């Protein structure tokens, strides 16, 4: 397992989305340190290129062909999450609810085989 460089993805106070984060190269998996947040689910939109169109990641279950969105459980953070990102280099961090009372800094690191 090879770890990339740790980066910060910040969601501004009142916001739901971080700016684009360039992980430096494509990665299969992302480690996300989720700070204490207002109750929300977290997703990791990805893009093929910098400034590209960001989209949610889905994983197909080979047993039934069903697509499952890569999304954290609803919660208030203070956890570390490991999520598949399918070989993308450019990511954002997105919360399902606006974050109040100050910016939220998420730490992210790509992982590859």
Fold of 2-112: Jelly Rolls (2.60.120)
* Residue 35 burial (CB count, 10 A): 16
For the chain, helix (H) and strand (E) counts, in that order, are 0, 10
Tokens representing 101 are: 């009372």
Whole-angstrom distance, CA of residue 76 vs CA of residue 58:
23
pLDDT tens digits, residue range 26-46?
Answer: 999 999 999 999 999 999 999
What's the mean pLDDT in 42-56? 98
Q: Which alpha helices (DSSP H) does the chain contain, by range? A: none
- Tell me, what's the pLDDT at 39? 97
């Amino acid at each position: 397992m090879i770890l990339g460089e740790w980066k910060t993805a910040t969601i501004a106070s009142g916001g739901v989305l971080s700016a684009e984060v360039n992980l430096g190269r494509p990665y299969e998996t992302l480690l996300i340190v989720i700070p204490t947040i207002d109750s929300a689910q977290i997703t990791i939109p990805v893009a093929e290129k910098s400034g590209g169109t960001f989209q949610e990641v889905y994983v197909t279950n080979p047993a039934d062909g069903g697509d499952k969105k890569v999304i954290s459980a609803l919660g208030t953070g203070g956890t570390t999450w490991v999520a598949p990102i399918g070989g993308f280099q450019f990511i954002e961090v997105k919360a399902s609810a606006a974050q109040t009372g100050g910016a939220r800094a998420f730490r992210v690191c790509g992982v590859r085989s």
